[in-house]
Structure 1
Amino acid sequence: MKKIVIWLLTTILILTSCTPSINNEDEVVQNEDETQQQQNSIVSSHQLSDENYRTILPYRPSASRGVTTNQLGNRVDIDELETGLRRLSKEYFDPEQYFFEEGQYLTSDMLYNWLDTYPTDEQLKTLEQRVEDDTDSFSEADLNARKQALNPPLDEDEATKEDYENNPKYVSHILEQNFLKRNEDDTVELVGASIGIALKSTFTYEVDGNTYHRDISQSEMLEKGKEIAQTVLERVRNIEELSDVPIMIALYREEDQNSPVPGNYVAKTGVEGGQASIGEWETVDEENVLFPSDEGEEKYYDTQQLVQNFGSRIEEYFPNYVGVIGKGFYKDEELQKLTLEIPLEFYGKGEVIGFTQYTYGLVEEMFQDYYDLEVRITSNEKMESFIYWGAGDNEGTVHIYDS
């Protein structure tokens, strides 16, 4: 395993002072299904920050583990779908009061059925006939599972270009997150859940060996997404554990498959415990912006210029520099975090250290402190060092990796 050398200019950072000890962990009892015994679990009293949820140990993976990776084609969308949902959940489930756990009630089989395309009329007749004839293993349960599909009817074996255009796949994933509280008798119980629904901005399909792209406007996506959300809520309420807890639902708009920046959540709503209908939706004003880009120049010109000037200063002293890639996360059009990736070709550790020192000086000189800033210095797709400067901090933290 690679050793990490932590260098904070002239200050040595002692990481062990931040490591939680076993004495900071409390044992609780996590209620399982009635057919199972109660399970002893650990809740750490150490919280990384007021904005992070504590988790239940042993950590239980999601009941639908693996579905996200199979359904979303862009790695950055996969990450943002999860982290963004947890971020929005904080408005409904306070991290200081509740614990986080991956979704335990929407299973992989359930989601694959929901994310399928609904059978066409012709397909439905064929499936119903198979059940009636009882000549193969296709059962009534299989038919009902096919009817759970949330995407429009489409027979991909027979579909024409017009069929694809008129019946695009809208929803590509549904993510569940659970929130628990600790009781006085040291048990924990489910008190709420968040559901993130990932929706396409572009539907890609193939006909006769040709690939086509069908753009889905945000207004069309929102209309379909809200219909899907209502159906999902009704189904979730039929799950005993989720029948009477508050639920937050958020709609996520994916980016193109090859986009270097992720999409973003565009709408959210809260539903009180026991309710099975959605009321008003609230607009979520978040976006991820690439720098430099046409969008960056048009919407956030000052940040675009800052990133380009930063790159020009680096280029003055390092001839093997190839450019800075910036990714800005905005909320209500205010920059919350700026991530800069600098790919270079290094020929020695001394060069890495020298470059990192110079870059840190530029960061201190050029960037403001009202947003989080992260600089990732890489070579050959490997992280060489990174700089982190938190909003409001007086100094940054620098990590140099020892190969």
Structure 2
Amino acid sequence: MRYIKWIGALVVIFILGSALVFFGNFYAKNSSNVTSTKSNKTTVSNKVTTKKGVTLTGTASSDQYKSVIKDGNYLVGKARGITASMNDNQFNTESFENGLLTISKAHFSPKSYVFQEGQLLTASTATKWLARQSNTNTEGLNPEDNGKTDDGRNPIYLQTIEEQDFMTQDGDNLKLSGIVLGIAMNTVDTYQKEQYGANFTQKIDAATRIAKGKEMAAEIIKRYRKMSGVSKDTPIVIAAYAQSPDDSLTGGSFYSWAESKSGETLSGWTDLKYANIVLPMQDNTTDVKSVATNLNKDFVNFQNTIQGFFPNLSYVTAQAQYDGQNLMGLHVDITTQFYSQTEINSFANYLAQTAPNFLPTNVPVQIRISTVSGIQALLVQKANSKTYEVINLSSY
């Protein structure tokens, strides 16, 4: 059964807040032409307007991509939000998209490439690919339904596909010069034995998930090579992501990637050691406890400090993203009982002054302040900075 899962209000508002930073100077400067280079890569000025109504956004820093605006509209991903089945863990969406962008930066530098949301994989094609294979859908990547309703059933392995396109200048136009694909693989498949019935879960062991991911990735590369606009030499990077179950307090993580430099051949898979850790850590967080012990102590002190200052907080939690032993970023969620805009403003400004004393300053940090009405404010700290930018969403 196929569903189209659009991102919930919480994620939409978060993306809006992030976009304010990402597109920070889009309207701040005048447009100028693309700067040509002799190499096959492109160095792009802060603002670019090409013929045919294509515009590039500016960026707030050199580690962010310029993005494509066409005829005054941002080019959204054609297949974004389409999933094989329902998944109620909102953290998966954020971890998947943010993690894929991190992988993209390692292969296609923001200094040389322009980012474009996926334009090759359409919504209708994605829906077919993510569905089960059947007599009426030979394009389905997930296995056919064998009719069983116990652990002997064929689960849904592939949950979603995310495409990111990377462009360089070709005369007065932008040329597709690289593609990054993310495939989200289920660790647990949630299903119903009968329509509108109770939900059941089927665990998928790691070895099977990894094997199926490699098998599906190879087939996806073959299909992309046949798409219009993709040459036999367009580099395609594909990364596999392990989805967290619906009841997890954290999102999943990418665990491997491979590249197709030419034709349908995929290079050997490279393992990744990404992990997401929920703070404050529970006593049973044994596998990664030593990695985040100091961060957890600092976060608990931060938590106690702000709860002492504003006692009406419902909860304060965080997600820390690690690459092996290295902290990559921190996302903090704070839920309050405040409703007035002045209280939100005061609390946000207090956090901007207090957070650098407790939270890491060498990695990006985002703090979201929410009430029952949704996200009210977003605080963003860039890597190697002790200053937070406060975005008050309650006034929008």
Query: TM-score normalised to the size of structure 2?
Result: 0.78
Does the aligned pair in 1 maintain the 2:100–2:239 contact within 8 Å?
yes
Q: Counterpart in 2 of 1:55?
A: 67
Match of 1:390 among 382, 385, 389: 382
1:401 shift after superposition: 5.3
**More helix, by proportion:** 1
For 1:80, the aligned partner's letter is S
Greater shift in the superposed pair: 327-336 or 291-300: 291-300
Q: Counterpart in 2 of 1:21?
A: 30
Aligned pairs for 1:77-96 within 5 A: 77-96=92-111
For 2:181, the aligned partner's letter is I
Q: Counterpart in 1 of 2:356?
A: 364
Q: Counterpart in 2 of 1:318?
A: 310
Does the aligned pair in 2 maintain the 1:71–1:173 contact within 8 Å?
no
Cα distance in 2 for partners of 1:347, 1:73 equals 27
Aligned pairs for 1:37-56 within 5 A: 40-44=52-56, 46-56=58-68
Match of 1:225 among 188, 213, 218: 213
**2:335 maps to 1:334:** no
Match of 1:181 among 168, 177, 182: 168
Greater C-alpha Rg = 1
Query: Gaps spanning 5+ residues in structure 1: where?
Result: 1-14, 30-39, 125-142
Aligned pairs for 1:4-403 within 5 A: 19-23=28-32, 25-29=47-51, 40-44=52-56, 46-58=58-70, 59-68=74-83, 72-119=87-134, 124=135, 143=136, 146-155=137-146, 158-164=147-153, 167-183=154-170, 185-207=171-193, 209-244=197-232, 245-273=234-262, 275-294=263-282, 299=289, 300-346=292-338, 348-400=340-392, 403=395
Cα distance in 2 for partners of 1:16, 1:101 equals 18
1:318-338 Cα distance to aligned partner (Å, 9 max, x none): 332333111112123322222
Matched residues, number = 349
Cα distance in 2 for partners of 1:215, 1:390 equals 38
Does the aligned pair in 2 maintain the 1:173–1:198 contact within 8 Å?
yes
For 2:96, the aligned partner's letter is L
Does the aligned pair in 2 maintain the 1:50–1:95 contact within 8 Å?
yes
SS across alignment from 2:59:
coil
Cα distance in 2 for partners of 1:69, 1:80 equals 18
Cα distance in 2 for partners of 1:64, 1:353 equals 37
Q: Counterpart in 2 of 1:11?
A: none
Relative distance call for 1:42 and 1:154 in structure 2 (3 A) is: same
Q: Counterpart in 2 of 1:132?
A: none
For 1:204, the aligned partner's letter is T
Cα distance in 2 for partners of 1:70, 1:41 equals 37
**Greater relative contact order (CA < 8 Å, ≥ 6 in sequence):** 1
Query: TM-score normalised to the size of structure 1?
Result: 0.77
For 2:132, the aligned partner's letter is T
Does the aligned pair in 1 maintain the 2:377–2:394 contact within 8 Å?
no
SS across alignment from 1:57:
strand
Relative distance call for 1:280 and 1:98 in structure 2 (3 A) is: same
For 2:335, the aligned partner's letter is P
1:187 shift after superposition: 2.1
Does the aligned pair in 2 maintain the 1:25–1:42 contact within 8 Å?
no
1:209-231 Cα distance to aligned partner (Å, 9 max, x none): 45321112332211110011111
Cα distance in 2 for partners of 1:390, 1:338 equals 11
1:357 shift after superposition: 4.6
Does the aligned pair in 2 maintain the 1:307–1:324 contact within 8 Å?
no
SS across alignment from 1:324:
strand
1:394 shift after superposition: 4.0
Query: Gaps spanning 5+ residues in structure 2: where?
Result: 1-23, 33-45
1:206 shift after superposition: 2.3
